[in-house]
Structures are given as structure tokens and as C-alpha cells.
């Protein structure tokens, strides 16, 4: 745990210290950073209104780690609260909302004290807080508290959900400072030249676009010649192209020579907010959906009308009551006529006002999840000063969730039933509720998104009827780091199965839910479980996965079984959702992000220029030393065929593999811990001195290329060797981690005694290194690949085989290869990665990275935060409403991309499934040819020629080629008389599993004109 001094002024709390438990907040730290987390850990937050929206905000804020949270509600629980309030139980109806809620919120994060308040909010009470959130209040109360917050420099957030409509208002004061508006890592660019001019032009190396935009500020480092820039204040730039930008007057500077790095400088931004009283009449809107650009002013009027309606009538408009709807629309027109300011709309949308009134009594869990995540992120912005806040009004609606035929939504059908689902029935009616309860869905993954989806589904009543069911599978166990965002889990659940624990948690939220937890991985190995019978019963699948391969697999299964798929993902404050509808939209796999750009081999081996390069080099080094080589040695000890199999490998692989075994079992096998330290010291010398000295011998500092240019010009960095110094912490960290990993591999006792290791390493004698002539060092990837693709050196292989010790002579030696594990701070893995990378960075003059950044990059960690997960799960659940409604038009559904940091909300219609054609027949990926009776290959081919005018040239099943026009005639004729399943068994040399009820064939065909055409796959029913 990291302890930091209180950064507050002492007026808003009594804690003298704030604590950040990095094992709990690890993923969130990569989103916010330590400074923002420190500021959050000194802020006290008040959240008023403990229905669905309020508890969502409280949950996310507590998970985020503010100093304390006070929840306020003057009322008692009613049955309809259970539509969206996941911490209330039916037996608690009539009890205090605040009292019941605070008990369960307190379990979420032991570092955040949570208290309850049931009295009226007073000015004196409000002074205690850094942020006040109102989720259930009258306009009069909002105006009063707005003034009190302004007077005391307290951030105010007002939020409200009414059915499928949502509202947020933010006021962070007259001059609010945002330290980092985006949260993205600063862009960097390596410099090729800088001109001396009234508007100096910086030209970057043409390998990568600089990524800057007009108005950015940059700082400079490592510039040679024009050194004045290295110590200058950040300069505002004007972008003139993807590789060039202007930086202002450089005429007074020295002449530029070579090198340099331009780095984006994050500049504080001042944001002005108007108080509520003024902002009501002069609103600034954040667009949430550009297809509804005219909606925010209308919704601003609708919410204002609702306050006045409640004031006059003493209640909300009744669900789908025509009289109340008309009355509401008339009042809206009356209020609009009296509005002074830009809030006045040219023409009141009477239809929208009636829709607003019809569902204003509704309370939907998905809407609360979405808006609760948005509001909680604004709370975090207010206290951390990181990311750009909403200025000032944000309106959102999801009216597409309503049925296409609104005539079914009658006052009778939508009236309260005294049911826990009354908040949802008010919007969609009783009939739709029954339909939800009878659904069967498969949720894949019980992590952050999975937990949120299960909570939403339980409160919606999905799968809660007699015929309904939810299947949830996840093969993982709960880790401590999960608790920060996977809110169904508690500290006492660590090391329990995620799926089982999540199922138990939502069963408490709604005992009626029929949920079946499983601990299976989805993939080829579980197709006997998730087979035809399993998928045939489903209404849809919701992915909550953390890797692309599993997503693509589930996507293929949904396409095959023609099932809707709800896809989603998060990356820090960014999130996306995609809805896949059979015979309507493209599939998830139809479009993918470009592959991650790989680091060139030569850059890693000899010419790194960024910390990412040295970290990847350290990862590769770890894998070679502590995983691959020990695995080879372990296989040699256990597998008598290892040597023969290894000798059959291509290229240099036999030599490398056998060399690693000889080293592990003969040359570098330690007898005791002292030998491990000795080995680590020699490794240090080889990596950080000898190899660098040899590189400089081959390519001296003043080396020129054939063209006469400096060899060590950017992006190359000229390195320097390191001399070992046991008083240098990084040097000693490397020795300790390397020696201990070596010890663990051989079953020796590791040591953490710094004095012991220092004394041992200082006693190691290291021979003086002399560079050798004739050593070839690859300068390009082509040279490196050519060196690795040479012929196997048979003579060397034979010598190595003779050097291998007989297994029986090793006395039962056991080897323990190390699989890299970033999250265990006691296993020396990250200690080695950090020290190895930073030493190589020192070789090349690259700025080092701390453990936090190193773990992010080397561990390929996906930053995560609870707010984004909440938002994404809400959007997914809104799309589920539409699927259950039976919507069938593209424009009814929405794909989304959100970035809460900016904040940015982009909604778009899904992309239609691409249409293809053969012989005049149009088809999409959702179509397939069906074969429903046994056929020989001859009959199969004739069927397509006769009925579809398609001539099959090749036929395959999975990786097995069953037929092709170029096959030998005898084999072709033999297979022509065989039944299709028999050919599959013969070619694959495997039986067809009992659970398989159909085979999928891919065919290559020529159409009736002899042209090669794409066609659907074939489903051959057994």
C-alpha cells in the first residue's frame, strides 16, 4: 500500500492521510494515475436520492476510492424501487432507504467510509463535502442547494432518469481547472530537422505520423545544436502536415544539428460554469446523439415542465394516460412561452412531450446503469481535476426501445401492479414484462461487464419466469484486483469461482432469477456442452469477454445458430457496444481493428529508441532464460524422444534448443545460491557491457553509412556500456531478481538479504571483455531473418548431442520453468523485467519507466474503471430490450462508442450484412445451404450442379480438404462413392463426436458462366 500525505486543505474531512492500495486499484491507476487518485482519496462526496440512479452513482464512486461517501434519502423503500435498486430486498419494503443502502454500499470498499443521512439538507451540512450529487429533488431544492454550493466552492451535479429519458447538469464553479483533458499518454515524435525562421518548422522522421493537432503544446529534449529548445517552456504548435509543425520564432537559436524528441505537454485548462439559475435559461448542451441534434432543447423544456407539473398536480403523470399526456403538453407550451433566454424553443414538440409524460413514472435499471456511470465519472472529474467535464447539460434518450406498435401501451397495461417490476411495467407494460421473464440468454464471462450485465438482467426480470433461464460461464477465479470494478464480489470471495459467486449475488438481488453458473471456457473443447440443443433454446448471447479470440469464436457460433449477439468492451474511459442481429446486421468478425504494430527485430536486438522497446526486450529475455530454456531441459529429463524430435526442426532451431539444454544441465547448472549470484553477475556483464561494446566495435560512434550520413542518426541511439556497481540500486535489483529466478528454477532457496547478495556479487571475478573482429551484427530485419533461416549445422548438433549428460546421472533433478506472472509481487518476475528494461534503457540513453508503467506495458494490461463498465452494460441492456421487442429495422438498433474522459458519445446504426451474389441469387453471411438427407460425394456435387447451377471445384471441412479438382483420379473416384460423413472420418482420421448433429462444409464453386464465385457454407445434417 502506498501512503501519501493529505493534499486537501483540511476543511473537507478529518483524515490526515490517504491510502492507495495498489493491489485493489491496479487497473484504475492506469486510467487516472497516482496524482488524480491522491486527490480523489481526499474528497468527501454527498449523494442524495437512493433509488436506482443514486445507488449506481454511489457504487461507482465508492469503488473509485474517494475519501468518504454520505448517502442521503428521507424516504422509505417502496416495492417499485426494486425495479432498479439492486441493494433493496422485498422484505425491506417500508424501511429507510438510506439505512438499508449504506450497509451494503459499505461492503464495496473498506477504504471508503460510508454513512447515511435522513434529515433535510442544510447549508451547514453541505459544507462538509467536495461534491454534492442530487438524483431525486425538486427544482426549488436544486436552486437552493446550487446557491449554497457556489458560496462554498462545492461542485454540484444534478441527475435524473425518467423512463427512457436522462438528464445531467454540472456546475464545478466559475473557474474550474482541468489538469489533463483527455488522459491519453502524451504523443512523442522523433525529430529529423528544425529550421531557423520566424515560424520555425519541425520535421519529424517519416516512420510514424507525429499525431499532434493545432493548438497542442510540446516540449523538446535531446536536441543537438539548437539546445535552447531543450530547456524552453512548452511551445504552442501549428500543424502543417502529418510529419511537420511550426513552433514559432527560432531565429535567435543556434543551428540545429541532429536528434531530438518533441513531447506533447499537457496544459491546464480553465472551464467556466454558470450557476443553475442562469444555466436553466441559457443552457449549454453536450450532444449525445447527432441523429437527434434537435432533442436536447426539447428535453430541457420537458424536465422543466415535469417539475412544474409535480408542483401543480402533486404527482407524476400516470403511465400512458392520454389525459395526463395532453395536460403535460399544454403545460410545456405554456412554460415555453414564458421562458426568457436561449432555452426557449421555436416550436414545442407536442408528441415528444406526451411521450415524456407517458413514461416519466418509469424507472429502468439499464438507464440507471448508463447515467450512473456518466454521473460517477463527473464526480471523479470534479475531485481529481482529470478529464474534461460535461459543460453543462447532458440529455439522453432511448425511445427506440419502445415497441413499434405503441397501441399496446395502454394505461391499463402499464398501470402499477404492486410488483417489483412496476418501474419497468410503467414504460413497457405487463405483457412485455412476461416476455422478458420467459427469455433464455447465455452470458459469456463474469468479469467486470459480466457482473454489471447480470445485475441489470436480474432487475429487469430477464429469465425470471417459469420458462426463463440465464446461463453464465467463466473459468476464472476471483482475484483481489477484481474487487475494484467487479462489484458482485467481496474480499471474502477471493479465490472463489467468478460465475458461481456472481450467480449467488444476483440471486439475492432477485430470488426469482433462474441462473445456471458454469465454469467452462467457450471453444472447440466445450462444443459437446454448448451444442445444437443448447443453442437452439437460446434467445440470444451477451459477450462479456476480455480477449478477441473468444469474441470471434462466440460470434461464429451465433452466426451458425442464427442467434442475436450483444458485444461490448472497455479500455479505460473508452467503451463500445455492438449489436449483431441475424439476417440484418454484419457480424462482429466482419470488421476488426488493424493488428497491433510489431517492433522490428533489429530495433529490439540492437537499436531501441523507446522504453516500449526495452520492455519488450526484457520480456523476450525473461521468456528465453526462465521459460523456454528450462522447458527444453525439463523435456529432455522427462521425454526420451526429445532429442530426436528437436533434431528434425528446421533452420537453427535444433542448435538453439540443444544449446539451451547443455547450458541448463551442464554449463550453468548451479549447486547453490552463490552460483546463482555468480551467473547473474556474468549475465549482467554480457548484456549491458560486452554486447554493447561489441556493437560499438562494429559500428563506432562516428561511423558513416555508404551514403556518408551518420550511422547513429535518429531513430538509432548510440549506446554506451555499463560498468557494474553494486551500490547502484538498479544494478543490484537485476542481480537479486535474476539470481532468485535461477534458484527457483532449480529448486534452490531464494534470498532477499541485500547485504548477503551484495557481498556475494562483489566477490565474483569477471574477465575483461575484448571485442572480436569478424562478428556479424544484423542491421536490418532482412539480415536478421536470413541469419535465422540458414541450414541446420549438422556437425554442431552432433557435438551438442555428445555434450548432453545422461538423464540417470543427474540424480532425479527437477526443473521448474517460470510462466510470466505480472501480478505476484513476490515472485521476482516484475523485479527482473523492470531492472532489465531500465538497464538497457540506460545503455541507450532512454528515460526509464517506474514499476507501474513497466507493468502496464510489459504485462499488456488493459486499463479499466467501474464507470465505463456501468455505462457499457446499460447500453447493452437497452439493446436487449429492442431484441425482445422484436425490432427488425437497422435504424431501431444502435452501436455505440463512448469516451467518458472527453466526454464523447457516438451512436450509429449497425452496418447491414454485406450482400453477395451467385447466379442472380443474393445472400449474406447469415445464409447457408441445407442438406437434410444422406448423400455420397457424387450426389452432393450433382445436387449443386443440378439445383443451383454451381460446379464445385473444392470441398473442405475445417482444416480437412475432402475433394478438389486436382486430386489424384483414384482417390477422387473412391470418395465419390462414399457418404459425406465417412469421407470426413477418413480424411480427418478422427471420429465424429456423438454431440455433433451437423457438419459444416466450405465449397469453392464456379457459376453457370464458369466464373469463380463466393457462396454460403453448407450445413449437412447427420
pLDDT per position as a tens digit, 157-180: 999 999 999 999 999 999 999 999
> Half-sphere exposure (CA, 13 Å, Cβ side) for 834?
20
1015 phi, psi to nearest 5 deg: -140, 165
372 phi, psi to nearest 5 deg: -65, -35
pLDDT tier at 788, thresholds 50, 70, 90: low
pLDDT tier at 986, thresholds 50, 70, 90: very high
Domains by residue range for the chain, with CATH:
188-265 (2.40.30.180), 438-596+862-896 (3.40.50.720), 609-845 (1.10.10.2660), 916-1021 (3.10.290.60)
The mean pLDDT value for 519-536 works out to: 96
pLDDT tier at 595, thresholds 50, 70, 90: confident
Report the SS3 class of residue 326.
helix
Report the chain's C-alpha Rg in angstroms. 33
**CA dist., res. 833 & res. 840, Å (int):** 11
* pLDDT, position 786: 75
The mean pLDDT value for 760-784 works out to: 92
- Lookup: cell for 607: 537499436
The mean pLDDT value for 777-785 works out to: 86
pLDDT(279) > 80? yes
Residue 393 near residue 304, CB atoms below 8 Å: no
* pLDDT, position 783: 84
Strand partners, 324: none
* pLDDT, position 823: 86
Q: Given the C-alpha cell 442464427, which residue does it identify?
A: 562
* pLDDT, position 620: 97
DSSP structure class, residue 67: S
Stretch among 13-17, 213-217, 222-226, 577-581 having the lowest mean pLDDT: 13-17
Measured CA distances, 235 to 59, 202, 264, 428, 498 (Å) = 42, 12, 9, 56, 50
pLDDT(9) > 80? no
The mean pLDDT value for 346-357 works out to: 98
- Cα 954 to chain centroid distance, Å, stands at 40
pLDDT tier at 708, thresholds 50, 70, 90: very high
Strand partners, 898: 575, 905
The mean pLDDT value for 331-339 works out to: 97
820 phi, psi to nearest 5 deg: -55, 125
- Show contacts of 89-92: CB within 8 Å, 24+ apart: 89/508, 90/420
Residue 218 near residue 263, CB atoms below 8 Å: yes
Cβ of 841: how many Cβ atoms within 10 Å?
A: 23
- 799-834 pLDDT, tens digit each: 999 999 999 999 899 999 999 999 888 999 999 999
- 29-72 pLDDT, tens digit each: 999 999 999 999 999 999 999 999 999 999 999 999 999 999 99
Strand ranges (E), 352-439: 393-397
Measured CA distances, 806 to 633, 638, 802 (Å) = 12, 12, 10
pLDDT(784) > 90? no
Residue 217 near residue 247, CB atoms below 8 Å: no
The mean pLDDT value for 223-242 works out to: 96
pLDDT tier at 791, thresholds 50, 70, 90: low
pLDDT tier at 596, thresholds 50, 70, 90: confident
**CA dist., res. 919 & res. 1009, Å (int):** 9
pLDDT tier at 781, thresholds 50, 70, 90: confident
* pLDDT, position 5: 29
β pairing state of 469-473 and 440-444? parallel
Nearest 10 degrees: CA dihedral of 441, 492, 449, 458?
Answer: 40
**CA dist., res. 1006 & res. 1013, Å (int):** 6
pLDDT(514) > 60? yes
The mean pLDDT value for 22-27 works out to: 87
Active site residue 451: no
- 358-417 pLDDT, tens digit each: 999 999 999 999 999 999 999 999 999 999 999 999 999 999 999 999 999 999 999 999
Residue of 321, 602, 647, 718 marked active site: 602
pLDDT(528) > 60? yes
Q: What is the mean pLDDT of the chain?
A: 94
- Lookup: cell for 406: 405503441
pLDDT(792) > 90? no
pLDDT(7) > 70? no
**CA dist., res. 920 & res. 177, Å (int):** 63
Cβ of 1017: how many Cβ atoms within 10 Å?
A: 14
Name which of 698, 729, 953 is nearest 835 in CA terms.
729
pLDDT tier at 10, thresholds 50, 70, 90: very low
pLDDT(797) > 80? yes
Residue 854 near residue 617, CB atoms below 8 Å: no
Q: In percent, how much of the chain has pLDDT > 70?
A: 98
**CA dist., res. 898 & res. 912, Å (int):** 21
Residue 995 near residue 527, CB atoms below 8 Å: yes
Peptide bond into 529 cis (omega under 30): no
Stretch among 5-9, 332-336, 599-603 having the lowest mean pLDDT: 5-9
Strand partners, 931: 1020
The mean pLDDT value for 426-431 works out to: 98
Amino acid at each position: 500500500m502506498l501512503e501519501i500525505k493529505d493534499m486537501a486543505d483540511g476543511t473537507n474531512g478529518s483524515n490526515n492521510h490517504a491510502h492507495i492500495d495498489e493491489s485493489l486499484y491496479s487497473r484504475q491507476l492506469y486510467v487516472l494515475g497516482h496524482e488524480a487518485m491522491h486527490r480523489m482519496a481526499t474528497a468527501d462526496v454527498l449523494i442524495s436520492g437512493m433509488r436506482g440512479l443514486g445507488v449506481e452513482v454511489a457504487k461507482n464512486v465508492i469503488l473509485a476510492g474517494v475519501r468518504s461517501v454520505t448517502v442521503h434519502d428521507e424516504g422509505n423503500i417502496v416495492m417499485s424501487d426494486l425495479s432498479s435498486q439492486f441493494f433493496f430486498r422485498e422484505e425491506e419494503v417500508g424501511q429507510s432507504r438510506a439505512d438499508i443502502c449504506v450497509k451494503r454500499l459499505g461492503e464495496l470498499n473498506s477504504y471508503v467510509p460510508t454513512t447515511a443521512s435522513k434529515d433535510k439538507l442544510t447549508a451547514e451540512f453541505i459544507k462538509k463535502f467536495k461534491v454534492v450529487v442530487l438524483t431525486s429533488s425538486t427544482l426549488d431544492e436544486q436552486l437552493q442547494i446550487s446557491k449554497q454550493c457556489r458560496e462554498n466552492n462545492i461542485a454540484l451535479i444534478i441527475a435524473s432518469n425518467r423512463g427512457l429519458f436522462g438528464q445531467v447538469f454540472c456546475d464545478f464553479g466559475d473557474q474550474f481547472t482541468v489538469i489533463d483533458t483527455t488522459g491519453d499518454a502524451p504523443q512523442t515524435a522523433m525529430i529529423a530537422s528544425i529550421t531557423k525562421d520566424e515560424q520555425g518548422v519541425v520535421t519529424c522522421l517519416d516512420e510514424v505520423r507525429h499525431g499532434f493537432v493545432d493548438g497542442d503544446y510540446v516540449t523538446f529534449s535531446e536536441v543537438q545544436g539548437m539546445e535552447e529548445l531543450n530547456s524552453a517552456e512548452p511551445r504552442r504548435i501549428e500543424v502543417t502536415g502529418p510529419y511537420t509543425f511550426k513552433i514559432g520564432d527560432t531565429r535567435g537559436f543556434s543551428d540545429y544539428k541532429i536528434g531530438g524528441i518533441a513531447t506533447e505537454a499537457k496544459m491546464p485548462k480553465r472551464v467556466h460554469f454558470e450557476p443553475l439559475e442562469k444555466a436553466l435559461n441559457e443552457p449549454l448542451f453536450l450532444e449525445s446523439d447527432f441523429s437527434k441534434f434537435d432533442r436536447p432543447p426539447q428535453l430541457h423544456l420537458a424536465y422543466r415542465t415535469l417539475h412544474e407539473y409535480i408542483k401543480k398536480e402533486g404527482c407524476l403523470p400516470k403511465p400512458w394516460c392520454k389525459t395526463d399526456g395532453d395536460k403535460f403538453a399544454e403545460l410545456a407550451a405554456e412554460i415555453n412561452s414564458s421562458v426568457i433566454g436561449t432555452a426557449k424553443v421555436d416550436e414545442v414538440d407536442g408528441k415528444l412531450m406526451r411521450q415524456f409524460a407517458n413514461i416519466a413514472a418509469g424507472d429502468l435499471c439499464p438507464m440507471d446503469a448508463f447515467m450512473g456511470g456518466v454521473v460517477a465519472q463527473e464526480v471523479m472529474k470534479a475531485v481529481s481535476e482529470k478529464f474534461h467535464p460535461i459543460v453543462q447539460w447532458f440529455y439522453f434518450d432511448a425511445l427506440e426501445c419502445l415497441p413499434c406498435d405503441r397501441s399496446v401501451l395502454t394505461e391499463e397495461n402499464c398501470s402499477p401492479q404492486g410488483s417489483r417490476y412496476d418501474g419497468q411495467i410503467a414504460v413497457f407494460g405487463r405483457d412485455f414484462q412476461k416476455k422478458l421473464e420467459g427469455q433464455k440468454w447465455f452470458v459469456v464471462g463474469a468479469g467486470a461487464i459480466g457482473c454489471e450485465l447480470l445485475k441489470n438482467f436480474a432487475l429487469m426480470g430477464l429469465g425470471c419466469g417459469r420458462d426463463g433461464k440465464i446461463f453464465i460461464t467463466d473459468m476464472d477465479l476471483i482475484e483481489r484486483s477484481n474487487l475494484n470494478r467487479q462489484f458482485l464480489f467481496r474480499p471474502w470471495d477471493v479465490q472463489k469461482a467468478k460465475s458461481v459467486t456472481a450467480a449467488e449475488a444476483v440471486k439475492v438481488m432477485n430470488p426469482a432469477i433462474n441462473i445456471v453458473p458454469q465454469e467452462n471456457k467457450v471453444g472447440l473443447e466445450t462444443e459437446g456442452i454448448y451444442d445444437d440443443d443448447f443453442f437452439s433454446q437460446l434467445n440470444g448471447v451477451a459477450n462479456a469477454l476480455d480477449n478477441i479470440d473468444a469474441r470471434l469464436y462466440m460470434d461464429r457460433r451465433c452466426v451458425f445458430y442464427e442467434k442475436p449477439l450483444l458485444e461490448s468492451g472497455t479500455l479505460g474511459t473508452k467503451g463500445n457496444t455492438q449489436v449483431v442481429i441475424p439476417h440484418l446486421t454484419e457480424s462482429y468478425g466482419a470488421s476488426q481493428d488493424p493488428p497491433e504494430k510489431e517492433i522490428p527485430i533489429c530495433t529490439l536486438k540492437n537499436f531501441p529508441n523507446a522504453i516500449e522497446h526495452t520492455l519488450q526486450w526484457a520480456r523476450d529475455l525473461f521468456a528465453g532464460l526462465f521459460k523456454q530454456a528450462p522447458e527444453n531441459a525439463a523435456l529432455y529429463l522427462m521425454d526420451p524422444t526429445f532429442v530426436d524430435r528437436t533434431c528434425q526442426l528446421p533452420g537453427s532451431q535444433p542448435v538453439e534448443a540443444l544449446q539451451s539444454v547443455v547450458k541448463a544441465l551442464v554449463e550453468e547448472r548451479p549447486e547453490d545460491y552463490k552460483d546463482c549470484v555468480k551467473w547473474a553477475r556474468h549475465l549482467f556483464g554480457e548484456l549491458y557491457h560486452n554486447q554493447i561494446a561489441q556493437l560499438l566495435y562494429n559500428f563506432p560512434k562516428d561511423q558513416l553509412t555508404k551514403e556518408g550520413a551518420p550511422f547513429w542518426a535518429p531513430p538509432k541511439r548510440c549506446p554506451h556500456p555499463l560498468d557494474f556497481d553494486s551500490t547502484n540500486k538498479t544494478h543490484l535489483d537485476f542481480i537479486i531478481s535474476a539470481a532468485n529466478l535461477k534458484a527457483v528454477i532449480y529448486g534452490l532457496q531464494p534470498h532477499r538479504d541485500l547485504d548477503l547478495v551484495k557481498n556475494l556479487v562483489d566477490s565474483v571475478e569477471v574477465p575483461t571483455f575484448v571485442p572480436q573482429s569478424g562478428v556479424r551484427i544484423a542491421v536490418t530485419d532482412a539480415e536478421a531473418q536470413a541469419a535465422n533461416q540458414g541450414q541446420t549445422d549438422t556437425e554442431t548438433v552432433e557435438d551438442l548431442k555428445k555434450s548432453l549428460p545422461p538423464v540417470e546421472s543427474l540424480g532425479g533433478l527437477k526443473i521448474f520453468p517460470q510462466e510470466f506472472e505480472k501480478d505476484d509481487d513476490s515472485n521476482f518476475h516484475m523485479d527482473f523485467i523492470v531492472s532489465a528494461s531500465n538497464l538497457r534503457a540506460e545503455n541507450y540513453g532512454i528515460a526509464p519507466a517506474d514499476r507501474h508503467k513497466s507493468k502496464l506495458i510489459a504485462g499488456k494490461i488493459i486499463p479499466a474503471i467501474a464507470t465505463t463498465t456501468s455505462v457499457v452494460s446499460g447500453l447493452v441492456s437497452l439493446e436487449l430490450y429492442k431484441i425482445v421487442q422484436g425490432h427488425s429495422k437497422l435504424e431501431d438498433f444502435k452501436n455505440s462508442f463512448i469516451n467518458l474522459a472527453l466526454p464523447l458519445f457516438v451512436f450509429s446504426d449497425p452496418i447491414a450484412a454485406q450482400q453477395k451474389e451467385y447466379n442472380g441469387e443474393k445472400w449474406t453471411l447469415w445464409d447457408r445451404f441445407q442438406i437434410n438427407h444422406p448423400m455420397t460425394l457424387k450426389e452432393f456435387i450433382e445436387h449443386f450442379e443440378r439445383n443451383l447451377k454451381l460446379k464445385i471445384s473444392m470441398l473442405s471441412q475445417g482444416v480437412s480438404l475432402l475433394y478438389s479438382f486436382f486430386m489424384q483420379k483414384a482417390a477422387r473416384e473412391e470418395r465419390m462413392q462414399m457418404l459425406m460423413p465417412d469421407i470426413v472420418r477418413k480424411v480427418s482420421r478422427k471420429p465424429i463426436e456423438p454431440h455433433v448433429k451437423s457438419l459444416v462444409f466450405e465449397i469453392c464453386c464456379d457459376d453457370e458462366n464458369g466464373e469463380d464465385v463466393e457462396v454460403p457454407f453448407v450445413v449437412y445434417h447427420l
